[in-house]
Amino acid sequence: MQRLRAEVSRVVVGQDTIVERLLIALLIRGHVLVEGLPGLAKTLLVKTLASAIDATFKRIQFTPDLLPADITGTLIFDPAGRGFNARFGPIFANLVLADEINRAPAKVQSALLEAMQERQVTIGDTSYPLPDPFVVIATQNPIEHEGTYALPEAQVDRFVMKLRVDYPAAEEEVKILGRYLDPTAGPVSVSRVIALSDIHETAKLAAAVHVDERIARYIVSIVGATRKPSEHRLPSLAPHIAFGASPRATLALAHVSKAHAFLRGRTFVIPEDVKAIAHDVLRHRLVLSYEAAAENMSADRIIDQILGTVPVP
């Protein structure tokens, strides 16, 4: 995993946290929603990561006129055999980049939902399993809403994490500019440094990371505070949360915490692992009220208060 991270950093400057979260997604086979302004290398990051793995990679550019068959595939009539043959769509890949997913209409989003949740695609009367691992990394632009379709809560909850890509630091941007202005520097070629079999074996090790009962109760308390904040000494948050996180969030917190601990060389989860990834796992699962919007209360601020109040084991 360190070789993989180093190979990605040869092309992508900075964004170390985002790279680590994508590695976690690979280990736990979880889908990720990446949100950021245009020009912050979201697409480049995913393409580079896929190029460094001996895996299949497909990129889908979502548009309002896209059809479900454009993603999943369709049946093609074969005159010679006098029958229909399934032609698989770009969803049949280990890593799928769903670019600007919020531009897809409801029919396309529902087709993608089955693939993400069931890890299979139905074409005609037959269901076909997707490759293993199968990870969808979707991007969306947070500032442009013309011609977009907001993702329903049921689909957003399928993403194990929602990552926010921010502007690079000044020194990182100087390094980016230096690469661009250097006349001797050509395109950096990315080598495949890890095989799919290595990903499978490493995922087994990450899954074996121990979660103590006290850590499990800590995770449940954090998620429970999003549902009934008054019972966790946070009555001021009650008007701001319309709906809290689901049990799927509890499972996601545990899985991501285990992979986070694994990448740091530990065989057990500590509270700092849970705190480090809580924002990425929970921010898209909280449905805020109108009062929260009126008071400019974001999901990240709510999670900050929850982490600062729930007792740490």
Give the per-residue pLDDT at 142: 73
What's the CATH number for 2-195?
A: 3.40.50.300
DSSP codes joined into one string, 200-229: HHHHHHHHT-B--HHHHHHHHHHHHHHH-G
Q: Select, from the ranges 67-81, 99-113, 219-233, the one with the highest average predicted confidence (pLDDT).
A: 219-233
104-120 residue pLDDT tens:
888 887 788 778 888 88
What topology does CATH give the domain 208-309?
Helicase, Ruva Protein; domain 3 (1.10.8)
261-304 residue pLDDT tens:
999 999 999 999 999 999 999 999 988 888 888 888 888 999 99
Please state, as a whole number, how many other Cβ atoms lie within 10 Å of the Cβ of residue 253. 27
Q: How far is CA 266 from the centre of its chain?
A: 23
178-216 residue pLDDT tens:
877 777 666 777 888 888 888 889 999 999 999 999 999
Look up the pTM and report it: 0.86
What are the residue ranges spanned by the domains of the chain? 2-195, 208-309
Dihedral of alpha carbons 123, 129, 131, 133, sign: positive
Per-residue b/e over 69-103, b at no fewer than 16 CB within 10 Å? ebbbbeeeeeeeeeeeeeeebbbbbbbbbbbbbbb
